[in-house]
Structure 1
Amino acid sequence: MRDYGFSPAQQDEIWRRWREGQSFSLIGRALGAPMQSARQFLYQSGGIRLTPQQRSKRHLTGSEREEISRGIAAGESARQLAKRLGRSPSTVSREIARNGGRNRYRAASADVAAYERGRRPKQAKLAQRPALRGLVEAKLALCWSPDQITGWLRRQFPGDTSMQVSHETIYLSLYDPRRRQAIDRSLTQKLWSGRPMRRPKIARRPTWRGIICGTVSITARPAEVEDRKVPGHWEGDLVMGTRPSAVATLVERTSRYTAIVALPDGIKAEQVTPHLTRSLLGIPPQLRRTLTWDRGREMAEHQAITAETGMPIYLCKPRSPWQRGTNENTNRLLRQYLPKGADLRQYLPKGADLRTFSQADLDAIAHELNHRPRKIHGYRTPAAVYADLLNSGDALTA
């Protein structure tokens, strides 16, 4: 791995600051180096620090192997050698057997072989199993998360561990340079973050989004909303592109079923209200109970929406988007699908004019999103759970 002119002490400092969530520019300034140098240094490792290989103190040393070799030449038994070295007899027996037996044992070659056996990482599971790799890559291309892929594989191949893989193995295969030959690294673009390297998690400061008259606080929301046992309670917000473009998202709390609403006219309250109202009226009446929204000014006409749809609207506390966390998570997933041109799976950052996407485009994206398995549902899809809710007696109970 290239050091890009950084000393070992500086490299340790880079990794320390990286774990703290500092930006490339802050790291560069602290070390008196160009921001790009710090970025390239971290990029080459995928944001994962490579630890040097070290031998465990529990393993045989080179000098102990020399003693074994001399003892074999002197005719000592494995038990005698073990007693003299302070080791278990089985340890000495295995050492001799795996390195050619008593007639072919050589200390130097045994030590080299032990070092090679101890090298990490071993060949990745995805590199060893082409069929499993193909499935993982296909699902990543559909913007499934590694966790969703892991859960889906467990359901599809419940008794076949050769066709199962952990989500962490998938992440490491994507990011760790020692494993990158195991999987197509360009598929990092299909993850919700779209980043080419792993970043430490850092807190984000929510912003003040204005005051709305006549608000009904989330604290007044019915208690039944919290446990998600009663379906029909929705969360919503805007996903912003280049201003003044946005789309609205609606997520049903029990099933996580998602609807995406085109806003071709803009993001002001009078422009959002008719499109949002029309979408809410398209929800079956038995699943149209409440709506929880962020405290954005697009909700200035929330009373008109309630009058038209019969759905009370509750607004989160200021600077508290986590109070509608289901919708926040869905909006992050949605960023994977907002397209450039006709490609509905090309990751797109926030700087795009979302008014160019028709309602049909957004319905196609919602269809894909609703047919991704979710861990919370035992890796069933939101669409399947939503369909069950529509057909169940629970959904019809007021």
Structure 2
Amino acid sequence: MGTFTLSRFQRGALAQLVSEGHHTYQDMADALGVAKSTISYELDRVKPYDPELAQQDADHKRRACGRHSILTPSLTILITNHLRLTWSPEAIATAFNLSTASIYNWLKLGWLPFNLADLPNRNVRQRRANEHRGTFTSGTSIEQRPKSVNQRLAFGHWEVDTVLSSRGQSRACLVTFVERKTRLL
């Protein structure tokens, strides 16, 4: 059917239909282009139905919905004081049963009066190590090899490749060598 929320205009039209008194919920829903359950919910919102009070209630509920931060003024002071005592966000999170990610997010958003660069670990957590396994600095790229190598006419042309293990399991890798003509592995 239609939408599940009513506009201010639709609430006024619904009030008119209610005042006429001889319409079913389905008739009113069809007239406004919404679901019958929307009409039922809307009429239960305020009794007797007043479109202005219903709009105020809907606006209040809209502002109150969504996720809310647990950061209170007292928690802000607590976290800031411990950061100034050179505690790391990880240590604070562990000590006070908070999320480390939340503390970093509050720092990035500026909700905590502490500079992210002043952290005792110099923000090591935010740096990511680059992956260097499996990169070769010598040899010729596949795109640059001669056409005679692609034709597989002569023995002695080798392809080298690496197979990396899953990052969390091991830092090892497997190197494969394949000869182009004989396909010796």
TM range, smaller chain: 0.3 to 0.5
Q: TM-score with structure 2 length normalisation?
A: 0.45
Larger gyration radius, structure 1 or structure 2: 2
